[in-house]
Structure 1
Amino acid sequence: MVKSKSESEMALDVRIFESISPSRFISFTIPNPTSPSHLLRVAVLDSPVHSTDSSPRVAAILVPKNRETDWIFSTESGHLQLLLNIPDISRLIMIGDNQNGGSDFPAVYHRPIVEDGESERLEMRLKPLVVALSPKTLTRYEIDDVPFVIYEDNVVSSVVLEKSIGPFVGEMLIEDVEIENDDGVREFRRRLRFKRMPNLVQSVIKIIPRLDSNSSPPLTGTEFKLHLTELVHPYLAPMVASLSLIDSHISQLKARPKALCIGVGGGGLLSFLRLQLGFEVTGVEIDPEVLRMARQYFGLDDSLARVHVEDGIKFLKRLSTSCDDDTKFDVLMVDLDATDPIQGMTAPPVEFVAKDVLLAARTVLVPSGIFVINVIAPNKTFYQELKGEFRHVFAELYEIDVGNGDNFVLIATVGPTDSKSGFTRETLTPAISGKYLDAIQRI
């Protein structure tokens, strides 16, 4: 892969852009045509999945003001995910203010008020640059038709609380954000993001200003309290809805029901199970730095869950050789991703659905227990094969369509489900939407 070089290291020859070179990434700076004393950073990425059988398509994107240092726009991995989210694009040209590689900490962002026509004027001034950076195989009409893609999200403001490096997940950051929902209502969130997939929010919880205010307080200087009894990530509520399949013996237990969660992240699911539903929770997280972040910023502590720092598969196999009836779990929940820069976000890792792992999972569950796993399939074949592997080991299989594309929650039962349930609709609906209970389908 061709990596970027600084302007001082190379004299840029635009002829290198005449053809598509899959996975090539080059960045450079030029004077801003609307303000020559300032520099623009230009980054050009060719798709790793470009087909030589079709004419290349090009798109350009202007980096939102004040977001230049965000990993989404300042890293190759962020650039790649933006490109892959635009259908059939062979080359993405990203243009934004140059930050000279440095910024004050904490990094603070406020959505700017852009004057009408400002972006359009800049696009017109940059059109010759986009033409020069387009493949020579494009016709004049195709070059004139190169779109400037608009990036929009619901982030109103954000502040980075900490950046760190984990031995397994790499660079990550904790940030507080103010978001604006579709109905115009603004809320505050605390998020965990990994640099390897900067466009993906790994963990998120709701935070609330400690002092009531009629106006929206600033992120910096405001003290927040954590709201741990609400699930924010869209797939977590369906995972909890799966508890409606647990046998009625749960309601008759003298001790707390037991949950094993593999993949902790910020710990939002673990905290919810303990605080809202009264579970005894055990967690497994491979990266100790992620666990530190969860404890420091997301309110996870030993009173909520007992967490082991270990590879989830190794933990499960080891536990399966030593557990007895008193140490088995009522539910096993798995939330692990298999991040691939080209495939994007997929879950779970293929290693986790090997037959010996599934057998170990069944072993650590009580006879009425369930195995719940978050699935984001890269394709239909993967999902069908995954379901086949589960059917070989477990008695019954259910799914919930999360409703945001290829995301499903898969539920496998150790034995046949009882017609009664320990977690009834009345128990669960105060905490999660009833639509997810209605969405459970046997497959």
Structure 2
Amino acid sequence: MVVSPELEGLRRIAPSRFVSFSFPNPFLGHASDPYADGGGGAGHLHLLLSIQFSRLILVGPELSAPSPRVVPCAARPDPDPAHARLRPLLLALCPVAAFRDNAVPDVPLLTFQDDLLLLAPVKFVTGPVVGEMVVEDVAIDNAPGPAELHRRLRFKRMPCLVQTQVRLCRSSAAAASSSLVETLEGSGGFLQPEVRGSLAQPYLQAMVAGLAVIAPYIEESIQSGVRPRCLCAGVGGGSLPMSIRVGLQFNVLGVEADGVVLDVARNHFGLVEDEFLHVHVGDAIQMIENFSRQQEPGMKFSAVMMDLDSSDAMCGVSAPPLEVIHGSVLHAARTILDQHGVLILNVIPPPADGSVYKGLIDVLRQVFSELYEIDVGNGENFVLTATVSPIDTALTDNSGHFLTELRKLAVDFLEHIRKI
């Protein structure tokens, strides 16, 4: 077997080594996904850390290849004929040890497949904090029902993680079209993000469901004419703060680290600021700590919702950042909550370390009174709700206008809340 000099180092397996290089894939005619190759070096490493293989080879399209405005994402046939044609190349990239005793190794081929039918990139921008990101409109398979049109935001540093996803409404002009492709080709003027109704991402539905544990207190506040206050640590595309402000009548303060992300939220995801919804650029954790030191009267929050993921690709997909697990941050969050307030956390435990989730639960129990959990059911996300005070009202109490509106956003996640 002849091995080129630049690939000579791949003949042996070296522990904890990461090598990245590119070569054309002759079996794909266009770049169906701008981040399909894992988003560059950081994205490659993110994938490698998420899958316990001694050697991971990623094969994707050349991003320089011309791509149509709308790309079909139909599932490839099983078995895929391209696999047989790729096999000689993959065998050439196997370490020598795989051919021990003259055996030909079996190279497993894994393909990524989601529920997308069509994909249309809308905008590429680069932020000073998150780096390159893409806004894209997609048609999602919703069988046996009709396909749904969504707009989503992804960061190149973690391409497999959809940061924000909202449903799209067709204008009357788009509704007259019988083709999804035609609708997405003209998506700039024909499609608008929905800001009412249930949230598109299940983990966000679970986060708003966490408010159910203090529903009687929120109901009482609203009935007295006082809007409950919520701090959203992490704004992204803005679907969570917009839903809480519009659907639940909260007074919302959002904090986002990257101003370009906020511009994207305003221009593409329907984020609208008004007297009851304000957003700021800054470090959300630092702002929580600053608020806790100031302790201004009348500035307490009914809820702090933390939707922050780790910015370190070495950790894989994980949330919240490890610094949140420090007791000082959680103590600061408790300080800015009112007597019946809750801290609601989106948690994605690091794939390589199951002890982090347990450690977070242990620290929350030390700082807060009660703890509730929702398993989102996607194999990744958990939502933890920590209360400042003991809850003396049963969650089965379905009365009140607030709970009625909450169910519209949270769908059936209210039934999945369990005390831990």
TM-score by length of 2: 0.85
1:384: which partner in 2? 358
Gap runs ≥5 in structure 2: none
1:216-266 Cα deviation digits (max 9, x unpaired): 432111411211222111211111111111162322331211111110000
1:27: which partner in 2? 21
Output the CA distance in 2 between the equivalents of 1:391 and 1:217.
49
- Pick from 323, 348, 351: which aligns with 2:323? 351
Output the CA distance in 2 between the equivalents of 1:404 and 1:358.
26
Change in 2 beyond 3 A, CA 1:68/1:94: farther
Query: Which aligned pairs between 1:198-277 and structure 2 lie closer than 5 A?
Result: 198-211=159-172, 212-213=175-176, 215-218=178-181, 219-222=184-187, 223-229=190-196, 230-246=198-214, 248-253=216-221, 254-277=225-248
1:432: which partner in 2? 410
Output the CA distance in 2 between the equivalents of 1:416 and 1:424.
20
Query: Which aligned pairs between 1:34-183 and structure 2 lie closer than 5 A?
Result: 40-41=24-25, 65-67=29-31, 70-73=34-37, 75-86=40-51, 88-99=52-63, 101=64, 103=66, 108-111=70-73, 119-120=80-81, 122-139=82-99, 143-183=104-144
Cα deviation, residue 197, structure 1:
0.5
1:390-431 Cα deviation digits (max 9, x unpaired): 122211111111112242111111111131676764342233
Output the CA distance in 2 between the equivalents of 1:350 and 1:83.
20
Output the CA distance in 1 between the equivalents of 2:414 and 2:78.
46
Equivalenced residue count is: 398
- Pick from 386, 389, 412: which aligns with 2:386? 412
Change in 2 beyond 3 A, CA 1:298/1:142: farther
Query: Which aligned pairs between 1:223-372 and structure 2 lie closer than 5 A?
Result: 223-229=190-196, 230-246=198-214, 248-253=216-221, 254-303=225-274, 305-372=277-344
Q: Percent identity?
A: 38
Question: 1:72, 1:78 within 8 Å by CA — same for their partners in 2?
Answer: no
Question: 1:248, 1:418 within 8 Å by CA — same for their partners in 2?
Answer: no
Question: 2:127, 2:259 within 8 Å by CA — same for their partners in 1?
Answer: yes
Output the CA distance in 2 between the equivalents of 1:113 and 1:314.
44
Output the CA distance in 2 between the equivalents of 1:83 and 1:24.
9
Higher strand proportion: 1
Output the CA distance in 2 between the equivalents of 1:28 and 1:322.
52
Change in 2 beyond 3 A, CA 1:186/1:77: farther
Question: 2:137, 2:152 within 8 Å by CA — same for their partners in 1?
Answer: yes
2:158: which partner in 1? 197
Question: 2:69, 2:185 within 8 Å by CA — same for their partners in 1?
Answer: no
Question: 2:218, 2:402 within 8 Å by CA — same for their partners in 1?
Answer: no
Change in 2 beyond 3 A, CA 1:150/1:317: closer
The residue identity in structure 1 corresponding to 2:163 is Q
Question: 1:325, 1:366 within 8 Å by CA — same for their partners in 2?
Answer: no
Q: Secondary structure at the match of 1:93?
A: coil
Question: 1:108, 1:159 within 8 Å by CA — same for their partners in 2?
Answer: yes
Cα deviation, residue 348, structure 1:
0.8
Output the CA distance in 1 between the equivalents of 2:309 and 2:98.
38
Output the CA distance in 2 between the equivalents of 1:241 and 1:69.
33
Change in 2 beyond 3 A, CA 1:196/1:26: closer
Output the CA distance in 2 between the equivalents of 1:142 and 1:399.
49
Output the CA distance in 2 between the equivalents of 1:385 and 1:324.
31
Cα deviation, residue 338, structure 1:
1.0
Output the CA distance in 2 between the equivalents of 1:356 and 1:265.
25
Question: 2:215, 2:402 within 8 Å by CA — same for their partners in 1?
Answer: no
Question: 2:139, 2:180 within 8 Å by CA — same for their partners in 1?
Answer: no
- Which of 337-346 and 159-168 deviates more? 337-346
Cα deviation, residue 116, structure 1:
8.8
Asked which structure has the greater RCO (Cα within 8 Å, sep 6+), the reply is 2
Cα deviation, residue 343, structure 1:
3.1
Output the CA distance in 2 between the equivalents of 1:152 and 1:142.
31
Question: 1:194, 1:202 within 8 Å by CA — same for their partners in 2?
Answer: yes
1:189-213 Cα deviation digits (max 9, x unpaired): 1111111001111111111211224
- Which of 134-143 and 236-245 deviates more? 134-143
The residue identity in structure 2 corresponding to 1:331 is A
| RMSD (Å) for aligned C-alpha atoms | 2.8
Output the CA distance in 2 between the equivalents of 1:312 and 1:285.
7
TM-score by length of 1: 0.81
Higher helix proportion: 2
Question: 1:14, 1:132 within 8 Å by CA — same for their partners in 2?
Answer: no
Output the CA distance in 2 between the equivalents of 1:424 and 1:305.
19
Output the CA distance in 2 between the equivalents of 1:342 and 1:409.
23
Output the CA distance in 1 between the equivalents of 2:419 and 2:41.
42
Output the CA distance in 1 between the equivalents of 2:10 and 2:288.
50
Gap runs ≥5 in structure 1: 1-9, 30-39, 43-61
The residue identity in structure 2 corresponding to 1:15 is E
Cα deviation, residue 331, structure 1:
0.9
1:403: which partner in 2? 377
Q: Secondary structure at the match of 1:417?
A: coil
Q: Secondary structure at the match of 1:183?
A: coil
Output the CA distance in 1 between the equivalents of 2:124 and 2:72.
19
Output the CA distance in 1 between the equivalents of 2:404 and 2:77.
51
Cα deviation, residue 81, structure 1:
4.2
The residue identity in structure 2 corresponding to 1:167 is P
The residue identity in structure 1 corresponding to 2:19 is F
Output the CA distance in 1 between the equivalents of 2:321 and 2:390.
27
